[in-house]
Each structure stands twice: as C-alpha cells, then as structure tokens.
C-alpha cells in the first residue's frame, strides 16, 4: 500500500509487546514531577493513559500510575503516583515510558508507525534498471523537508529517501518489505556512514 505518511507516533522504540512513547530526561520541580522527551504524535492521549510502564536501563520494567501531565518547553511534564520528591524523580531519569503495543493509536489508512518501518528491507528501481535490494531501514528522519526520509543502509553507503506516495510502489509490513520506484540519479545522492547523523538517534 502506498504511504500517506510516516508518523513519529507511539514508536520511538518498539520492544516486543511494548511501545516507548516518552523518555524521562530529568526532574522538573520539587514534588516528584519529571520532564520527558516525547516519541508520540498524540500527547493528548495521556489524559486516558493513566496506567503506564517504566523500563529502566537495566531492562527492568515496573508499573506507574500517571496523576497529571502538562507541556513545558517542548517536552511533557509527568507526575506519577508515589513519586513525590526530587530524589524519587532522579531515580526515573533515563527510563522509557511505555504502553502495551495493542494500546497504540490507530492511524489512517496508508500511514505507518516508524517502529513498523524500521528494519524493513528496501527494494528500489530507477528508470529501466532492474529492482535492486538496498538494505534495511535504520531510521526515519523528520524535519528535513515536507516528507520524512527513510534512512537506508547498503553496506558502507547510506541513502536518505523521501517516503512519499509518488516513489512508493508497495509497503508490505508482514513481509518486512518496501518497494520503491525512484527518479534517475537519486541513488547517487548518498553519504558515507561516518557523516554526522541528523535524525533521531533513538532512546
């Protein structure tokens, strides 16, 4: 199915049965609030998502109950039940805030979660050339233009390919396969893997 877009939503990281929707950066305030970086396009859904999970850097996951939330300087401030001091909040620094995969938001037809696209193998043709396997999608870069860019790795080369309907022949998530038809010369606009990354590095 050709894409209408990739959503940077409910998918900063996909980890088995859970989806990361935020990452705690630091304490915010004096009574246990934390400042979190969002990985969701649906922050308003915190209003109904009061039962969340926190995955720490050692791989341990525990349940948290969300009491309140509000936006602040491009991030989201979260207040959890039982987290009532700066020290409590410091213990949450770096944890990923997660929801069960089945609770993620429903997208319109033709839109895809980034977590579903990452890892898909990309096959492309240009002009009269035969279809060629480029490699896997390693990330989806936002903010470089109107369309998100598929970051695709082929051996020692990296491609940034606009994920737009006009270039996309087929997306088969079950087969983990994306088929593209690209303009002549687009695959010459690649960059070495050692260049600075401009997209999300992921949590």
Per residue in 62-92, pLDDT (tens digit) is 999 999 999 999 999 999 999 999 999 999 9
Residues 12, 60 within the same domain: yes
Last residue of a domain, one of 103, 133, 162: 103
Residues 125, 98 within the same domain: no
Does the residue 176 lie in any domain?
yes
Global pTM? 0.61
Residues 82, 130 within the same domain: no
Q: What is the tens place of the pLDDT at every residue in 2-36? A: 455 555 444 444 455 888 889 999 999 999 999 99
Q: Can you spell out the DSSP letters for the chain? A: ---SEEE-SS-SEEETTEEEEEEEEEE-SSSS-EEEEE--S-GGGGGT--EEEEE-TTS-EEEEEEEEEEEETTEEEEEETT--SHHHHHTTTTPEEEEEGGGSPPPPTTEEEHHHHTT-EEEEEETTPPPEEEEEEEEEE-SSSSS-EEEEEETTEEEEEE--GGGEEEEETTTTEEEEEE-TTGGG--EETTSPP-S----
Which domain, by its residues, includes 146?
118-192
Residues 93, 141 within the same domain: no
Residues 9, 86 within the same domain: yes
Last residue of a domain, one of 46, 73, 103: 103
Residues 15, 81 within the same domain: yes
């Amino acid at each position: 199915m050709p894409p209408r877009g990739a959503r940077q939503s409910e998918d900063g990281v996909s980890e088995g049965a859970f989806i990361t929707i935020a990452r705690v950066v630091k304490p915010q305030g004096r009574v246990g609030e934390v400042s979190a970086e969002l990985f969701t396009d649906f922050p308003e859904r915190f209003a109904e998502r009061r039962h969340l999970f926190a995955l720490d850097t050692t791989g341990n996951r525990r349940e948290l109950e969300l009491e309140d939330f509000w936006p602040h300087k491009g991030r989201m401030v979260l207040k959890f039940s039982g987290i009532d001091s700066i020290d409590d909040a410091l213990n949450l620094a770096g944890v990923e805030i997660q929801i069960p995969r089945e609770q993620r938001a429903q997208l319109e037809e033709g839109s895809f979660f980034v977590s579903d696209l990452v890892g898909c193998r990309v096959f492309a043709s240009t002009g009269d050339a035969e279809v060629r396997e480029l490699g896997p999608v390693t990330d989806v870069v936002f903010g470089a233009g109107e369309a998100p860019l598929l970051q695709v790795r082929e051996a020692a080369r990296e491609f940034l390919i606009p994920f737009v309907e006009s270039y996309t022949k087929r997306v088969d998530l079950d087969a983990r396969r994306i088929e593209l038809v690209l303009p002549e010369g687009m695959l010459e606009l690649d960059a070495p893997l050692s260049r600075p990354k401009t997209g999300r590095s992921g949590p």
